[in-house]
Amino acid sequence: MTGAGTAEVVTRFIEALNSHDPDRIAGCVTDDFHNEHTSSLGSSLRGRQAYRDRLPVFLAGFTDLHYEVEDLLVQDDRAALAYRMTFGYRRADDVVRPVSIRGVFRFRVRGGLIAHRADYWDGVAFQRQVDDAE
């Protein structure tokens, strides 16, 4: 795949995430999709159906979720995307805290779909924003 095609696939995926539509998001990934999380607070999985099954819980836990693209670097079938993710997080005590986290996705594209996504973000930055440690 060309770099331009890879950029289109990655951009379509981010737009799908921002739509909050689980079917649209899952439609951007391969059947054998590998969703890799590097943060200790994340959990990795494999397969489009497993990813689709997890999306409603993820989307419900992060109200008004939005990914802002800060930078996108593409080479052939690979891409690295720096992002700022913002959302409201509802704690167990029903308090919603605003959260803003910067991170990086690393993608591998195959056949016009995302085959692998590695997500790098700081779980400690998340905890600081949702805890009362202000």
Question: What value, to the nearest 5°, has the Cα angle with vertex 89 and ends 16 and 45?
Answer: 55
The answer to whether residue 94 scores a pLDDT higher than 50 is yes
Local confidence band at 2 (pLDDT 50, 70, 90 cut-offs): low
- Confirm if 89 and 101 have CB atoms less than 8 A apart: no
Pick from 99, 17, 23: which is nearest to 59 by CA?
17
Predicted TM-score (pTM) of this structure: 0.89
Per-residue pLDDT of 42-56, as tens digits, reads 677 899 999 999 999
Helix, strand, coil percentages in the chain from 3-state DSSP, rounded to 5: 35, 45, 20
Per-residue pLDDT of 106-120, as tens digits, reads 999 999 999 999 999
Please, what are the domains in the chain? 3-130 (3.10.450.50)
